[in-house]
A and B are shown apart, each in its own frame.
Chain A
Amino acid sequence: MERMALTRSALRLFSGRFTQACQVRGYADAPSMSLTFAAPSQVLYNNISVKQIDVPSFSGSFGILPAHVPTLAVLKPGVVTVFENDGSTKKFFVSSGTVTINEDSTVQLLAEEAVPVDTLDISAAKELLAQSQSQLASASSEVAKAEAEISIEVSEALVKACE
Chain B
Amino acid sequence: SQQVRGMATLKMISIRLKSVKNIQKITQSMKMVSAAKYTKAERELKLARPYGIGAQEFYKKAEVKGEEGEKGQLIIAVSSDRGLCGAVHSSIGRIVKTDIAANPNTKVVIVGDKVRNILQRLYAKNIAMVVTEVGRKPAVFGDAALVAQSIINSGIEFSKGKILFNAFRTVVSFRTTEMPLYSQNAVANASKLPVYDSLDSDVIQSYTEFSLASLLFYSMKENATSEQSSRMTAMDNASKNAGEMIDKLTMTFNRTRQAVITRELIEIISGAAALETKN
> Which residues does A use to contact B, with CB under 8 Å?
36, 38-43, 46, 59, 69-74, 96-98, 100, 102-104, 106, 108-110, 112
- For residue A25, give the distance in angstroms from its CB to the closest CB of chain B: 25
- For residue B121, give the distance in angstroms from its CB to the closest CB of chain A: 35
Please report the number of residue pairs spanning A and B whose Cβ atoms sit closer than 8 angstroms.
78
Q: Looking at the complex, which one of A40, A69, A72 makes contact with B203 (CB distance below 8 Å)?
A: A72
Q: Is the CB of B47 within 8 A of A41?
A: yes
Cα(A129)–Cα(B53), bound, Å: 34
Complex A-B: 20 CB contacts under 8 Å? A36-B57, A38-B50, A38-B51, A40-B141, A40-B217, A41-B48, A42-B47, A46-B50, A71-B197, A71-B198, A74-B207, A74-B210, A96-B210, A98-B207, A100-B57, A102-B61, A103-B192, A108-B55, A110-B51, A110-B211
Within 8 A of A (CB), among B203-247: 203-204, 206-207, 210-211, 214, 217
Cα(A106)–Cα(B203), bound, Å: 19
Q: Looking at the complex, which one of B53, B141, B197, B199 makes contact with A112 (CB distance below 8 Å)?
A: B141
Q: Is the CB of A103 within 8 A of B44?
A: no
- For residue A37, give the distance in angstroms from its CB to the closest CB of chain B: 9
Q: Is the CB of B57 within 8 A of A108?
A: yes
Residues of A within 8 A of B61 (CB): 100, 102-104, 106
- How many residues of chain B are within 8 Å of chain A by beta carbon? 29
Question: Closest A-chain residue to B61, C-beta based?
Answer: A102
Q: Is the CB of A72 within 8 A of B196?
A: yes
Does B195 sit at the interface, judged by CB under 8 A? yes
Q: Is the CB of B197 within 8 A of A70?
A: yes
> Which residues does B use to contact A, with CB under 8 Å?
44, 47-51, 53-55, 57-58, 61-62, 140-141, 192, 195-199, 203-204, 206-207, 210-211, 214, 217
- For residue A11, give the distance in angstroms from its CB to the closest CB of chain B: 45
Q: Is the CB of B210 within 8 A of A39?
A: no
- Those 3 A-B pairs whose CB atoms lie nearest each other, nearest first: A38-B51, A108-B54, A40-B141
Residues of B within 8 A of A72 (CB): 58, 196, 199, 203-204, 207
Q: Looking at the complex, which one of B51, B140, B199 makes contact with A71 (CB distance below 8 Å)?
A: B199
Cα(A96)–Cα(B206), bound, Å: 11
Q: Is the CB of A110 within 8 A of B214?
A: yes
Contact A41/B44 with A72-B196, A98-B211, A110-B51 known, Cβ cut-off 8 Å = yes
Q: Is the CB of A36 within 8 A of B214?
A: no
Q: Looking at the complex, which one of A40, A98, A103 makes contact with B195 (CB distance below 8 Å)?
A: A103
Cα(A97)–Cα(B51), bound, Å: 11
Cα(A102)–Cα(B50), bound, Å: 16
Contact A40/B214 with A70-B195, A72-B199 known, Cβ cut-off 8 Å = yes
Residues of A within 8 A of B62 (CB): 102
Residues of A within 8 A of B54 (CB): 36, 38, 108-110
Cα(A17)–Cα(B199), bound, Å: 45
Contact A43/B47 with A36-B54, A72-B204, A110-B54 known, Cβ cut-off 8 Å = yes
Q: Looking at the complex, which one of B44, B51, B195, B203 makes contact with A74 (CB distance below 8 Å)?
A: B203
Q: Is the CB of B58 within 8 A of A100?
A: yes
Cα(A149)–Cα(B192), bound, Å: 36
Question: Closest B-chain residue to A112, C-beta based?
Answer: B141
- For residue B180, give the distance in angstroms from its CB to the closest CB of chain A: 16
Residues of A within 8 A of B217 (CB): 40
